[in-house]
Amino acid sequence: MLEQLGSLADPPWIYVIVGLSVLLDVFLPVLPSGVLVITAATAAAGSTAADAVGGAAPVHPAHDVSTMFSLMLCAATASVLGDLVAYRLAWRGGARFDRAMARSRRLAAAQDKIGTALSRGGGPLVVLARFAPAGRSVVSIGAGVMHRDVAEFLPWSALAGVVWAAYSVSLGYFGGQWLGATWLGTAVSVFALFAAGAGAGFLMRRPREPRENPAP
CB-CB contact of 134 with 205 (8 Å): no
Amino acid at 86: A
CB-CB contact of 31 with 136 (8 Å): no
Amino acid at 162: V
* pLDDT tens, per residue, the chain with 216 residues: 444 444 544 557 788 888 999 999 888 877 778 888 988 888 777 655 444 444 444 445 556 778 889 899 999 999 999 999 999 988 887 666 666 666 666 666 666 666 565 555 567 888 888 888 778 888 888 788 778 888 888 899 999 999 999 999 998 888 877 776 667 767 888 888 888 888 877 776 665 554 444 444
Amino acid at 79: S
Rounded Cα distance, 22 and 18, in Å: 6
CB-CB contact of 140 with 181 (8 Å): no
Nearest CA among 1, 207, 215, 216 for reference residue 109: 207
What is the chain's percent helix, strand, coil content, to nearest 5? 80, 0, 20
What pLDDT does 146 receive? Answer: 78
